Amino acid sequence: MSVDLPTLLYLGLYVAQSTQAQNGYFPPPVITAQPGSIVLNNKPVTIWCQGPADAEAYEIYKEGDPEPRDGKKLLEAGKTRTLYIQEMKPYRTGWYRCSYKRGGQWSPLSEPLLLVMTGFYDKPSLSSLSGTVVASGHNVKLQCFSRIKLDEFILTKEYVPQFTRRQSSTAQDNGRQTTFHLGRVTSTQAGTYRCYGAFSNYSYLWSHPSDPLQLEVREPPLDPTPTEPEHPQAMDHNQTQDHQSILIGFPVAIVLLLLLSLLLFFILHHRHRKAKKSNATETKRQQQQAAGPMDRLASEARDPQDVTYIQVAFNAPTPGTASAPSLLPGPTQASEYATVARR
């Protein structure tokens, strides 16, 4: 057996109201509309008034009209609890309330129900400035725009009749627009949204609905499961080989670095010695060229016994004897000593 929404609402209220009814308290009824309170032009709608099972009569009336209790009883209990509207017209729009009669007394009025008619103007466009798939806690903004210079826009959510937001529009790009701030959304705010436009003087006559916008809110995973490798044994074997290669390659690299350092040291040391020896030879050669021949002989002698001294005497002729040599030796004028080195 299928149970419709009004019946479910009534069953939920009946248990809470039964105890209060015994003490003479009349709980207010619940008023709803099927298939909804937003009705397309010329389409039918049914208004339901839900009260206790022992209600004797019902009254459903529109605010602004004369009170039905002045002899204009709309419905009788035991026949039906609904008000059926065959075609939705502009004069049918507005706020509705209902009440029921029991024990000769009327209950308090229900909460108001708003009936609006759509299809009077072209549909606006609805877009999300934050994207249609957002993370939980992200700020979401929905923007409604129309080329018609409508005074206000209305945002609704499918299957949530109580969610209705109405905001004034502002001029934008040869049209009108408004931005609805949903704030930091959670998974409960996911769903299908639509927007409508209206003029302030005819606030119950709305445009066609915009195309639906599906908002998806993704919650972060509570306990993410790490991904297991497809071949854990093969990966462990490869990792072991990599570790062994690292352990073997590191000492080899150290030894090669030391060998290269030693080779560079020997090359630099050999070049230094060669350059030093070449500089010493060049210096010695320049000293030998600068010294005289006799000085070179003396410097080359290392032992005093290797040196021989020779005395050379020079006799100078006396004046007047230039033509004939004298038989007697004349006085010695000078003596020179020459040094002879034996090789």
* Per-residue pLDDT reduced to its tens digit, 80-124: 688 999 999 999 999 999 999 988 899 999 999 999 999 999 999
Mean pLDDT of the chain: 76
pLDDT more than 90, % of the chain: 43
pLDDT tens digit sequence for 18-28: 444 444 678 99
213-218 and 133-135 strand pairing:
parallel
The answer regarding whether domain 122-218 maps to CATH 2.60.40.10 reads: yes
Phi, psi of 86 (to 5 degrees): -70, -40
For 47-67, the DSSP string reads EEEE--TT--EEEEEETTSPP
Contact 159, 191 (CB under 8 A): yes
- 10 pLDDT band, cuts 50/70/90, is very low
Contact 155, 195 (CB under 8 A): yes
Q: Do the first three CATH levels of 30-118 and 122-218 match, i.e. the same topology?
A: yes
Cis peptide before 35 (omega within 30 of 0): yes
Residue 249 has pLDDT above 60, yes or no: yes
Phi, psi of 132 (to 5 degrees): -90, -10
Domain range summary for the chain, segments of one domain joined by +: 30-118, 122-218
pLDDT tens digit sequence for 292-308: 555 554 454 445 555 55
CA distances from 110 to 45, 49, 99 (A): 19, 8, 6
The Cα 111–Cα 109 span in angstroms is 7
The Cα 289–Cα 295 span in angstroms is 11
Residue 218 has pLDDT above 90, yes or no: yes
CATH fold label, 30-118: Immunoglobulin-like (2.60.40)
Residue 78 has pLDDT above 90, yes or no: no
pTM value is 0.56
- 156 pLDDT band, cuts 50/70/90, is very high
pLDDT of residue 262: 80
Contact 96, 31 (CB under 8 A): yes
